[in-house]
Amino acid sequence: MLACAVALAADAVVVSQRNRHFNPDHLAIAVGTSVRVMNDDRVTHHIYIDSENMRFESGEQPVGKSIDLRFDQAGRFLVRCAIHPTMRLEVAVK
């Protein structure tokens, strides 16, 4: 079972951006997990996290570009897009 837990933590989780939504838009992951956010949309995105214990800013994320986010702290984080304010990806890390 330990090997299984380690494999889970090391696996990259992939989130797609399509039609100006994150899919999936909720994640529950272990501390240390990387999340790859892939722009499968037809428009540029610009993702950011602005929380007390994690700040991130992707800059322009053109179509086809992926961004890797690594969550090293437990907590709940909201990934948003600076261009499309309705885009929300909730990430629960524990």
Cα–Cα dist 32/59, whole Å: 23
Check if the beta carbon of residue 94 is closer than 8 Å to that of residue 74: yes
- Between residues 79 and 93, which has the closer beta carbon with respect to Cu ion? 79
Binders in 18-57 for Cu ion, by CB under 5 A: 45
Instruction: Out of 13, 37, 69, 81, name the contact with Cu ion by CB under 5 A.
Output: 81
Taking the complex as a whole, the smallest distance from the CB of residue 87 to Cu ion amounts, in Å, to: 5
Q: Tell me how many degrees the CA angle 59-22-44 measures, rounded to the nearest 5.
A: 35
- Between residues 84 and 88, which has the closer beta carbon with respect to Cu ion? 84
- Between residues 41 and 77, which has the closer beta carbon with respect to Cu ion? 41
Residues of the shown chain interacting with Cu ion in the complex, contacts defined by CB under 5 A: 45, 81, 83-84
